[in-house]
């Protein structure tokens, strides 16, 4: 049983679910109605039960978690799962503990301290990238990869250029993706990103075509830049873009994993080990605010071969890391022995690397 609270979780688990079902496992998905989460589940034909809707405040979030706990408990009693899973998911952890089941969670967000406090005491296994900065104790299993490599690894993802035709674009166009977020996640309280959005847009469009994706409502002056494609095609657009710059950390790491240079602007960025890992390949940079970021963007966009250079860096990134979906399937099917194997012989996970990459 897998609970999803964010669109990124659909991508994280979609191949995992398909492969498990091919192997004869029964998978039940519960989901929170946040942004395009439900739309993506429908597009990927993943059967699901909606158990909550995002609110506008921390009080709303707490109330929602309590209601979701109750709803998921009722569903789990009927389904009787062996294992509950989620992305740093308090509901999956709580219900597994109440029912005496096992829970396997994933996490890559070190600064989500409040969520960790109400989740991890009840979890059995917490899988994190090897570059994750926190030590979570004996429950932690580190793997040589990232969440993005569960769905953007070449074993599972092939870019489709049709998205360019849909938007009237060409492969040799310089495309710049700019993203704004809503700042209403539990770990976003008191944080911020780009303050002068108009300046950013006007400076960037001197170098190429600016396309905006936004969780928050855009002012009328930005509507002409808004990306109007179905959400499952965003990764293809990111792949064929020359630069991503914005407040969304997930989209930034996805872009970098796809070989598109990314600049992430957020006061939360300095806490995440995954961003450090991507920076080692000179695919991603982080800033607390605009200062310095626009200058770096101009420097990158001045390179005539920026897109090709990014794809060469991506090849190295893929070669050095594992296919996370394949690893997670092995971990689940061989649990709990698999946890002992990884802790005793961490290099065993190299079996899930791929020698073939784009």
pLDDT digits (tens, 9 = 90+) for 304-357: 999 999 999 999 999 999 999 999 999 999 999 999 999 999 999 999 986 443
68 domain residue, yes or no: yes
| Strands of the 2-4 sheet, one edge to the other | 49-53, 29-33, 2-4, 83-87, 102-106, 125-129, 140-143
Whether 6 and 132 share a structural domain: yes
CA distance 322 to 143: 8
DSSP H helices, 219-323, are 234-239, 249-257, 273-280, 293-301, 306-320
For residue 277, count CB atoms less than 10 angstroms from its CB and return exposed for 0-12, middle for 13-18, buried for 19 or more.
Answer: buried
Q: Are residues 129 and 197 in the same domain?
A: no
C-alpha neighbours within 13 Å on the C-beta side of residue 224: 6
Residues in the chain where the model's pLDDT stays below 50: 183-192, 355-358
Per the domain annotation, does 206 fall within a domain? yes
CATH number, position 166: 3.40.50.2000
Predicted model pTM: 0.91
- 327 neighbors 309 (Cβ within 8 angstroms): no
221 prior amide bond cis, ω within 30: no
In Å, how far are 5, 193, 253, 286, 295 from 291, measured between CA atoms? 32, 11, 20, 11, 8
Residues 126 and 181 in one domain: no
**How many residues in the chain?**
358
Q: Are residues 183 and 312 in the same domain?
A: yes
Residue 329: what pLDDT?
A: 97
If asked whether residues 116 and 181 sit together in one domain, one would say no
The answer to whether position 288 is within a domain reads yes
Indicate whether 357 belongs to any domain. no
Measured CA to CA, the distance from residue 223 to residue 216 in angstroms comes to 12
Residue 126 lies in a domain: yes
Are 112 and 201 within one domain? no
Domain annotation covers residue 281:
yes
pLDDT at 114: 87
Same structural domain for residues 314 and 169? yes
Q: What is the extent of the structural domain holding 177?
A: 162-318
One domain, residues 64 and 134: yes
Please report the pLDDT score of residue 355 as a whole number.
43
**Residue 192: its pLDDT value, please?**
45
pLDDT for res 324 = 97
Answer whether residue 114 is part of any domain.
Answer: yes
pLDDT for 62: 78
Identify whether residues 175 and 308 lie together within a single domain: yes
At a CB cut-off of 8 Å and minimum separation 6, what does 272 contact? Answer: 108, 109, 110, 111, 133, 249
d(Cα 292, Cα 289) in Å, to the nearest integer? 8
Tokens of 231: 């959400």
Q: What is the number of domains present in the chain?
A: 2
Question: Is 214 in the same domain as 128?
Answer: no
Distance CA 115, CA 133 (A): 16
Determine the Cα–Cα distance for residues 237 and 323; give it in Å rounded to an integer.
Answer: 22
Considering the domain architecture, whether residues 328 and 261 belong to the same structural domain is answered as: no
- CB burial string 186-213: b at 16+ within 10 A, e below: ebbeebebbeebeebbebbeebbbbbbb
For the chain, counts of helices (H) and of strands (E): 14, 12
Same domain, 242 and 333: no
The answer as to whether 358 is a domain residue is no
């Amino acid at each position: 049983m897998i609970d999803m609270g964010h669109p990124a979780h659909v991508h994280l688990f979609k191949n995992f679910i398909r492969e498990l079902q091919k192997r004869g496992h029964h998978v039940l998905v519960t989901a929170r109605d946040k942004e395009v989460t439900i739309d993506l589940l429908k597009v990927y034909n993943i059967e699901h039960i909606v158990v909550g809707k995002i609110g506008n405040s921390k009080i709303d979030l707490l109330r929602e978690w309590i209601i979701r706990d109750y709803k998921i408990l009722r569903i789990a009693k009927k389904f009787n799962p062996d294992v509950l899973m989620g992305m740093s998911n308090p509901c999956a952890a709580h219900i597994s503990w109440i029912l005496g089941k096992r829970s396997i969670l994933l996490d890559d967000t070190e600064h989500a301290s409040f969520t960790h406090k109400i989740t991890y005491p009840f979890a059995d296994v917490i899988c994190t990238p090897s570059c994750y900065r926190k030590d979570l104790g004996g429950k932690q299993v580190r793997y040589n990869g990232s969440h993005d490599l569960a769905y953007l690894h070449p074993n599972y993802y092939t870019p489709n250029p049709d998205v360019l035709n849909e938007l009237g674009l060409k492969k040799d166009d310089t495309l710049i993706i700019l993203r704004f977020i809503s700042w209403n996640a539990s770990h976003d309280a008191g944080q911020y990103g780009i303050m002068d959005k108009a300046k950013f847009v006007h400076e960037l469009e001197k170098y190429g075509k600016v396309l905006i994706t936004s969780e928050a409502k855009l002012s009328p002056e930005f509507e002409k830049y808004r990306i109007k494609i179905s959400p499952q095609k965003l990764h293809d657009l990111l792949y064929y873009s020359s630069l991503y710059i914005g407040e969304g950390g997930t989209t930034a790491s996805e872009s970098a994993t796809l070989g598109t240079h990314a600049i992430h602007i957020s006061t939360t960025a300095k806490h995440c080990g995954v961003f450090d890992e991507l920076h080692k390949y000179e695919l991603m940079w982080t800033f607390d605010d605009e200062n310095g970021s626009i200058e770096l963007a101009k420097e990158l966009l001045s390179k005539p071969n920026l897109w090709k250079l990014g794809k060469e860096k991506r090849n190295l990134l893929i070669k050095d890391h594992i296919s996370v979906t394949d690893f997670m399937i092995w971990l689940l099917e061989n649990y709990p022995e698999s946890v002992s194997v990884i802790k005793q012989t961490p290099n065993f996970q190299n079996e899930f690397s791929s020698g073939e990459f784009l």
